[in-house]
Amino acid sequence: KQEVTQIPAALSVPEGENLVLNCSFTDSAIYNLQWFRQDPGKGLTSLLLIQSSQREQTSGRLNASLDKSSGRSTLYIAASQPGDSATYLCAVRDSNDYKLSFGAGTTVTVRA
Amino acid sequence: DTEVTQTPKHLVMGMTNKKSLKCEQHMGHRAMYWYKQKAKKPPELMFVYSYEKLSINESVPSRFSPECPNSSLLNLHLHALQPEDSALYLCASSQATGHNYGYTFGSGTRLTVV
């Protein structure tokens, strides 16, 4: 059974610092990995989707890397802003299951 | 249109009530999903519809009844719920159930059962 872990569980940084969020998964036989953002009490907003054949994806200040063999993905957010404060979830689509396996999330606070 | 729209945003219902949650997308996606999310937990899959047919039921109690009237619409009918069913209910869609596709989530319905 796929297990997805996100470290750290919470992170507080001053505005302008770069953010590094980690996601690890136990079964490397995955099809893709998706990073989501969730504001309190709201739905999930897709940030980046990385297919298993890809090493990274970029969108604006966001960059996500994928190392399938070691079971790791990292989300980088450059020059953080207070508006980046949210919970970030990674989800893995593995080859043995129809489900998304979610991590528990990293809650980010960016202080002005 | 790149959104999944859920209504209502908030719902309070008694344990004897019958209510429905609605989800709509106009992206041409042929797979739609219901998820349940409790506070500070990741979403949990409830149902999967593929080409308007129910393909996955994750052993959800029968007081939750999904319906997919057409390719754009997904409903979740609620009856005789319990207080522990209070949660954020999320709808999602993907181009198909194939493994290469990413998911688009709606903003959710916050359900409180009293």
> pLDDT tens for residues A69-100?
999 999 999 999 999 999 999 999 877 666 78
What average pLDDT does the segment B55-80 reach?
A: 95
Burial B9-25 (b: 16+ CB within 10 A, else e): eebebeeeeebebebbb
Both structure tokens of A82: 């207070």
Q: Do B99 and A91 touch (CB under 8 A)?
A: no
- Which of B7, B33, B41, B45 would best serve as a mutation to test chain A binding (most A beta carbons within 10 A)? B45
Tracing tokens 């980010």 back to the chain, one arrives at: A108
**E-only strand ranges, chain A:** 4-7, 10-14, 19-25, 30-38, 44-51, 56-59, 62-67, 72-77, 86-94, 100-102, 106-111
Integer Cα distance of B23 and B107 in angstroms: 10
Integer Cα distance of B88 and B5 in angstroms: 14
Q: Do A102 and B45 touch (CB under 8 A)?
A: no
B75-109 residue pLDDT tens: 999 999 999 999 999 999 998 777 678 899 999 99
At B85 the three-state DSSP class reads: helix
The letter for the amino acid at B48 is V
What are the chain A neighbours of B103 within 8 Å (beta carbons)? 34, 44, 46, 91, 100
